[in-house]
Amino acid sequence: MWRGIGMAVQGPGCRLLVPPPLLLLSLAVLTFPPPAVAQPPPAAFHAGHAASSLPATTAAPHTRYLLYDVNPPEGFNLRRDVYIRIASLLKTLLKSENWVLVLPPWGRLYHWQSPDILQVRIPWSEFFDLPNLNRNIPVIEYEQFLAESGGPFIEQIYVLQGYAEGWKEGTWEEKIDERPCIDQLMYSKDKHEYYRGWFWGYEETRGLNVSCLSVQGSASIVAPILLKNTSAQSVMLDRAENLLHDHYGGKDYWNTRRSMVFAKHLRVVGDEFRKRYLQSTDEGDRTHYKEDWTQMKVKMGTALGGPYLGVHLRRKDFIWGHREDVPSLQGAVKKIRSLLEMHKLEKVFVATDAVEEEIELLKKILPEMVRFEPSWEELELYKDGGLAVIDQWICAHARYFIGTSVSTFSFRIHEEREILGFDPKTTYNRFCGEKERNCEQPTHWKIVY
Q: Any residues with CB less than 8 A from the CB of 51 and at least 6 apart, and which?
A: 143, 146, 147, 152
Q: Any residues with CB less than 8 A from the CB of 10 and at least 6 apart, and which?
A: 244, 245, 248
Which residues have a catalytic role annotated? 74
Q: Any residues with CB less than 8 A from the CB of 37 and at least 6 apart, and which?
A: none
Task: Return d(Cα 397, Cα 18) in angstroms, integer.
Answer: 47
Q: Any residues with CB less than 8 A from the CB of 56 and at least 6 apart, and which?
A: 17, 147
Which residue from 59, 26, 237, 38 is spatially nearest to 147, judged by alpha carbons?
A: 59
Task: Quote the strand ranges of 172-293, DSSP E.
Answer: 173-179, 188-189, 195-196, 206-216, 234-238
Cβ atoms of 46 and 209 closer than 8 Å: no
Task: Return d(Cα 408, Cα 11) in angstroms, integer.
Answer: 10
Which residue from 65, 84, 43 is spatially nearest to 234, judged by alpha carbons?
A: 65
Task: Return d(Cα 85, Cα 11) in angstroms, integer.
Answer: 11
CA distances from 216 to 7, 11, 163, 179 (A): 11, 16, 8, 13
Task: Return d(Cα 227, Cα 400) in angstroms, integer.
Answer: 47
Cβ atoms of 348 and 426 closer than 8 Å: no
Tell me 226's DSSP state: I
How distant is the alpha carbon of residue 177 from its chain centre? Answer: 26
